[in-house]
Copies of this chain bind each other. A is one copy, B any other.
Amino acid sequence: MNDISLLAYALLGLLQQEPRSGYDLRKIFASTPMGTFSDSPGAIYPALERLGKRGLVRSRIEETSGLRRRRLFRPTAAGIRAFKTWQTKTIVREDVIHSVDELMLRFSFMDETGSAAEARRFLKGLKSELGGYIPNLRRYLAKNSPDMPLSGRLAVESGIRGYETLFRWAKTAMSAYSKRKRRGTRR
């Protein structure tokens, strides 16, 4: 009942940056690294409609333009709350196994909708879960290697290396936040 799709959270995050139309959002998905999301109108317009029905966004028709009417969306207070709740959830093992994309989406909006302390808490949690999970994968591979074909072993190795890279990234990200804190700068 109260579950919101990943796409819907992405929309909610982007709308917190500035009010945008469905078309604006489609363009972002079509032309930036956020392009992991679908830019199809059949995904975006119904998703905005649903967010509206749940009271998480509201919209008004922009009238100034000479082109066809644009409908500009912005999050409501409830929408901002829902986003924040999602963004600051505790990271669990399940997240690193099945939802790394979701974790990165949460993090990518951290500066705009959260505090530096929340970013650091997020990175700490991520490091902790990865630190617990990676050895499991290594153990699995060591144990089952003899029975696996080369391609299977390599595929698992690829997954592990991806997690290791993420772990190292979390460390550098953490130190970037520490540096910023010491210098007291923004951006």
Contacts and interface: CB of A to CB of B under 8 A. Distances in A.
A154 B36 contact: no
A45 interface: no
A158 interface: yes
Contact of A165 (B35, B156, B161): B161
Main secondary structure of the interface of A (DSSP, over half): helix
A166 B162 contact: yes
A34 to B, nearest CB: 9
A54 interface: no
A150 B183 CA distance: 14
Contact of A151 (B109, B152, B155, B158): B109
A183 to B, nearest CB: 12
Contact of A159 (B33, B150, B164, B180): B33
Interface of A: 32-33, 35-36, 97-98, 104-105, 107-112, 119, 137, 140, 146, 149-152, 154-159, 161-162, 164-166, 168-169, 173, 176-177, 180, 187
